Amino acid sequence: MFSINGPSGPTNRNERVPRPPGSEKRKGPSSHAPRRPTTVPSSGHPTLSAIFQGCNLYFDGRTGNVSSYYMTKMVKEHGATVSIMHRKTRVTHIVAENLNGSKTEALLKSGGKILCVHPNWVLDSIKKGKRQPEFKYAIYKDAAAASSISTFFKPPTTTT
């Protein structure tokens, strides 16, 4: 009544599904066109572009009108990796609407290596098809870095 493997197919991974004679797996190139995702990184997620290539994002708290689940899915499709825990050695960007005091203090202690950006940075980067400058979307702006950058672009003053 039942086939060799039982009523619902194989019961362990060593059993194979019996195939009728003459219906063997096809080998060789498939005849259908490739799908939209073109590359598959080592994480196994299909990507649409490499906008966030090299970025390791951590979503902290609220992400505005778009859920963090959907944001995670979007950034993975565009080449980023996502950390579920905030690790200083791996995370390159924290995406959040705001930070509390202890997280801001931890960010200061990291020496400015981790960038804290608003979720609009992700959305605008995807919309424009190019990674946008993080400084425009920074939640916490280091006053020393801002002053050094602004003084760098100031025209030199001459004394007579």
> Of 13, 65, 30, 15, whose CA–CA distance to 2 is shortest?
15
> Of 30, 69, 70, 75, whose CA–CA distance to 51 is shortest?
75
| Distance of alpha carbon 54 from the chain centroid | 9
Q: Which pLDDT value is given to residue 101?
A: 72
pTM (2 d.p.): 0.57
Amino acid identity at 109: K
28-54 residue pLDDT tens: 555 554 444 444 444 555 667 889 998
Of 3.40.50.10490, 3.40.50.150, 3.40.50.10190, 3.40.50.720, which CATH number belongs to 56-140? 3.40.50.10190
**What distance in Å separates the CA atoms of residue 146 and residue 152, rounded to the nearest whole number?**
10
Q: What is the mean pLDDT of the chain?
A: 72
Percent of the chain clearing pLDDT 90 (strictly above): 17
98-149 residue pLDDT tens: 877 776 676 667 665 788 899 999 999 999 999 999 999 988 765 555 444 5
Domain ranges of the chain: 56-140
* Largest interatomic CA distance in the chain: 104
Helix axes 68-77 and 119-128, enclosed angle (nearest 10): 40
